[in-house]
Structure 1
Amino acid sequence: MSRQSIGETLAARLYAAETAIDLALIETAMLAAMLPAARADAYLSAVTGQRAFDGAAGSLSALSAARSQMVQTHTALAAIARKLGLDALAVGPIDKPGDTPPVGGGGGDGPGARPDMVNETLRDTVNKILPKEAGLC
């Protein structure tokens, strides 16, 4: 296996891990947001369900910390890729925050962002690694 193919595989796995954490954050936040409304709709006291709400809030905090760690992992892997001359590796949105002008014509997090874009050179690798039902490629 070449360094390039190893890097492509790692890039795809990194993107999948980042996406999984983001999806978990979204679902957990939606659950946490629904809990107070569900309690009120069921005409229950504010005390009822507090432990469940605390659990959801704690999960959000833990997922936020996990996301921060994954961002640090991304940064470390990007530095290694640069050292090995694998700068072209990219999976996921091509544009990164602060890219001015946007590299891939998307827009990073700004207007016109294309979060569904995947670097075309890695599409085959991503398709081999990630299941189609995950909807990541």
Structure 2
Amino acid sequence: MHHEAVGRDLSRKVHAAEAAVDHALIEIAALTAALPEARMRAGVSGVTGQSAFDDLAASLSALTQARARLGGAHRTLAALARRMGLGALAAGPMDKPDDQPPLDGTGGVRANMVNEK
């Protein structure tokens, strides 16, 4: 497979993985938010389900760490693609909060991410 095709495939997979983690965070946060209301509607003690809260909080923390590590892998792969002369192989949204200047389709990435952490 040609390098560019491999790069595009990896770009799609990175975007899909990032979206999956974000969706998991959304769903776990929604479940966590629903627990107090469910407890009150059921009329049970405030200590009921505390271990579920603890487990959900740990899940959110682990996913938050996974999200950060996935972002690091994304930056590393993007830097590798640039070193291989592949340029931008984006499959998902281009604008990132830390891009300086922000990407708006008028010039592409100007940041040197090769040495970023």
What TM-score bracket applies, with the shorter chain setting the length? 0.7 to 0.9
1:46-65 paired onto structure 2 within 5 Å: 46-65=46-65
> Does 1:103 find its partner at 2:83?
no
Using CA pairs under 8 Å that are at least 6 residues apart, name the structure with larger relative contact order, 1 or 2: 2
Q: TM-score, normalised by structure 1?
A: 0.72
Query: Could you tell me the percent identity over the aligned residues?
Result: 51
The 1-side partners of 2:94 and 2:10 are apart by 16
CA RMSD of aligned residues (A): 1.3
Q: TM-score, normalised by structure 2?
A: 0.84
Unaligned runs of 5+ in 2: 107-117
**8 Å Cα contact 1:4-1:86 kept in structure 2:** yes
The 1-side partners of 2:26 and 2:46 are apart by 24
Unaligned runs of 5+ in 1: 106-137
**Shift >2 Å, 4+ stretches:** 98-105
The 1-side partners of 2:15 and 2:84 are apart by 20
1:64-79 paired onto structure 2 within 5 Å: 64-79=64-79
**8 Å Cα contact 1:81-1:87 kept in structure 2:** yes
**8 Å Cα contact 1:95-1:104 kept in structure 2:** no
